A = this chain, B = another copy of it.
Amino acid sequence: MKRHAARAPTSASPASPAIPTESGARRQILNAAAYLLRHRGYEAATTRAIATAVGIKGGSIYHHFPSKDAIVGEVVNEGVRVVYDAVEKALGALPARAKPRKRLEAAIKAHLLSSLEHSNYTSASIRAFAFLPDSVRQNCRIERRRYEALWAQLVSEFYQAGLIDRSIAPESIQLLLLGALNWAGEWYRPDRMDIDDISRDFAASILHAK
């Protein structure tokens, strides 16, 4: 029952770390927390469950983090950051003169992929957010607002392109769209659905290309 060695065979992962002082164990703890938050919620993501998933004992968590909420806060924040980056990157990867419809489709797909397939962090911040302690929620308000602003910008493009009826408030479009996307975790089943199809349908539903 040896355990030392900091068990990082993946020390060659990113040689250029965004956060250099981050040990492998820290990342593993965040990963486990994100998984539990996504699938079981805040209260079920206990410090002992997180520790067990990583292969350490409950108390050892506190060598890496000062509190449970610090872990949760970091997970939720990173979740928003990840989906922001995904959407921004997807939009940037499009040809400069891509049609608005394609841009919407790409943004939707990026959000869905991030929250359904790629990132437990993103799904955690969406699914578990509602009943998080207030302190944790406040902690990621700026990040969330930033993400909403990204979508507000996108929506305004469609209005300017005349693809949305001007009698409809832009806020409504954004609530409709982001609501549907954030709820996707409740019905999505990986083997029975195709994110490309869904993205195309969602985009086509919103944009009235006449």
Contacts and interface: CB of A to CB of B under 8 A. Distances in A.
Sorting the interface of chain A by its residue count into under 10, 10 to 19, 20 to 34 or 35 or more gives 35 or more
A111 interface: no
A172 B131 contact: no
A152 to B, nearest CB: 13
Nearest to A201: B172
A130 B129 CA distance: 12
A206 B206 CA distance: 7
Contact of A204 (B168, B177, B197, B201): B168
Nearest to A187: B175
Interface stretch (A12-20, A99-107, A178-186): A178-186
B168 A40 contact: no
Nearest to A198: B172
A43 to B, nearest CB: 4
Contacts of A206: 205
Nearest to A204: B168
**Interface class of chain A by DSSP:** helix
Contacts of A149: none
B202 A40 contact: no
Interface string A38-54: 00111110000000000
A124 to B, nearest CB: 12
Contact of A173 (B40, B183, B205): B205
Given A167-B204, A176-B202, 14 more contacts: A40-B131, A41-B43, A42-B43, A130-B185, A165-B205, A172-B201, A172-B205, A175-B180, A175-B198, A178-B183, A179-B180, A179-B181, A182-B186, A210-B210
